[in-house]
């Protein structure tokens, strides 16, 4: 009698996405926080209007203490040539391992750029 074959396992199937929205208030450069829970940031969806600026992040493991997100090369930055209105931008997921809560900044930690109106930014996440 032949050995039964195992059921095939689908490899590389997409994981469910869980979006959250943060808002940068009119005249401000830093959004409120989003608690990602057991998810990891995968991409951001930019609003239809955006005062030109790069994007950086403040992150927290506990939702209380926030710090600017840095890599070996410096502050994790999505340049202003990429961070434009009505764009979906993939982020480096490895940079967000261990991050539970995130804030989005218009500009850098040393030079924030105030937005000209309230801006809603969608954070698309995937399970860790």
For residue 6, being part of any structural domain is answered with no
Range of the domain at 88: 18-119
Number of domain units in the chain: 1
The encoded tokens of residue 63 equal 């939702």
Q: Note the pLDDT of residue 15.
A: 57
88: domain CATH number is: 2.60.120.260
Q: Note the pLDDT of residue 1.
A: 60
Task: Kindly give, in sequence order, each residue whose CB lies less than 8 Å from that of residue 58, ignoring residues fewer than 6 positions away.
Answer: 30, 66, 67, 68, 69, 102, 103, 105, 109
DSSP-derived secondary structure for 32-59 = --EE-TTEEEEEEE--S---S--EEEEE
- For residue 30, the 8-state DSSP code is B
For residue 27, being part of any structural domain is answered with yes
For residue 8, being part of any structural domain is answered with no
Q: Note the pLDDT of residue 128.
A: 80
Q: Note the pLDDT of residue 5.
A: 64
For residue 89, being part of any structural domain is answered with yes
For residue 96, being part of any structural domain is answered with yes
pTM of the model: 0.86
For residue 31, being part of any structural domain is answered with yes
For residue 29, being part of any structural domain is answered with yes
Kindly give the parts of the chain with pLDDT less than 50: 9, 13
For residue 5, being part of any structural domain is answered with no
Q: Note the pLDDT of residue 43.
A: 95
């Amino acid at each position: 009698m032949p050995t039964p074959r195992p059921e095939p396992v689908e490899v590389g199937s997409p994981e469910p996405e869980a979006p959250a929205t943060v808002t940068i208030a009119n005249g401000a450069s830093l959004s409120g926080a989003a608690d990602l829970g057991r998810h990891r940031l995968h991409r951001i969806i930019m609003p239809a209007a955006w005062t030109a600026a790069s994007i950086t992040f403040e992150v927290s493991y506990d939702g209380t203490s926030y710090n600017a997100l840095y890599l070996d090369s410096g502050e994790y930055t999505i340049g202003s040539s990429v961070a434009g209105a009505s764009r979906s931008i993939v982020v480096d997921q490895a940079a967000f391992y261990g991050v539970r809560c995130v804030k989005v900044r218009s500009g850098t930690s040393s030079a924030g750029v105030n937005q000209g109106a309230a801006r809603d930014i969608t954070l698309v996440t995937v399970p860790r």
